[in-house]
Structure 1
Amino acid sequence: MRVGYKPGGDDDLEPDWLTGDPIWLDLFERWLAEAVEARVPEPNAMVVATVDTDGAPSTRTVLCKGVDARGVVFYTNFGSDKGRDLERRPVASATFPWIAMERQVHVRGPVVRVDRDETLAYWESRPRGSRLGAVASDQSRPIASREALRDRADEVERRFGASDDDGPVPLPDGWGGFRIRPTTVEFWQGRANRLHNRVRATRTDDGWTVARLQP
């Protein structure tokens, strides 16, 4: 990190703030930690875009559940709209919109499934109600009414129990994680008169390159 960087400060974003391996990770983790410290609502929320087989884009907000050198992870039902899109066209972009701090981070690249052991570890860390809800929901599929959805949730709760003392809630075969493996990571910092700071890291065959972009 460059000399003079002030967490949460007003310094202008510079390309030499990006250091480490991979080059984007250190600054991303700092900005995420600062968003948490600033009490930005849902600081790990990101807008994920996928593309269907006709080339039509679709976006939705999901929660990031892991970031490391391998990429950015989120979990979903594989039969959901985004799950089906990613199985057919395994590329995605994600934007972390920390608007209150005048910051954004944009990530894009190919997508791979998270392995089963890692998915199971995350599944078992979720609140029981979230696990029961995931079992009850055929995500993105039509349902007749809210009452019908509640009936399905009640049936799943009767089957597995409402308490952790009732035993495990099995991980569904059709549920798991996707990891975006970044080829591009862009940091955006808002400034007056639309003279925003944009710094983009791009992965090449020879490693990462970093450039300042015009706003």
Structure 2
Amino acid sequence: MVLARRDIARPQLSDEVAARLREQIMDGRVRPGEYLRLERLAAEFGISVTPVREALQSLRSQGFVQLEPRRGFVVAPLSRQDVADLFWVQAGIAAELAARAAGAITTGALRELTAIQDAMRRAAAEGRTDVVEEHNHAFHRSINLTAGSAKLAWSLSSVARYVPRGLYGRLPDWPRTALEDHDLVLAALAEADPERTAAAMRAHIVRAGELLIAHLERQGLWNGGR
């Protein structure tokens, strides 16, 4: 396992370490059954052991790692169904928010979403996947704000954090697929059709999960198993 050392803001050390390890687990770079040694991680990140331990405890509470007596922290099993379940939950919440947004959409909000989609398409054409992800985040955030359901949006963000930003850009076909799906969502929003918008959003999120599962399979994460 190789972790790139970066400067980490001191007030959020454990959160930053947890986010990076979560990213590597979900990307298949850190495998189930691999031990995460406190001292080694601390040295690689250039920080003390304490925030690393806090990060691993946080990941343990989220089900990403397990603590084995006298052996330490180990990456927990991650099955295809686990990944599919994460996206199933995310898809359901996102679909409901999209349906509510369809009932409250304004001409101004549609113009904003169209502008974001156009900027995302230009970034994809230029091969700037990091910018594509930024616009993708802005697209979904705009819909969620339009829905006017803060608690539901918070629930979605809690689930979505399991797939860190920066990961989608490494999935083959994701930019093209996301743009095509966004077009369908936009068309449904323009018609102010809650059911159609919800269906388009649900399919969009589920497809993203399928792309991640395919990526992890190519990484050899399951080696033919579940």
Structure 2-normalised TM-score?
A: 0.27
Compare relative contact order (CA 8 Å, sep 6+) and give the higher one, 1 or 2. Answer: 2
Larger helix share, 1 or 2: 2
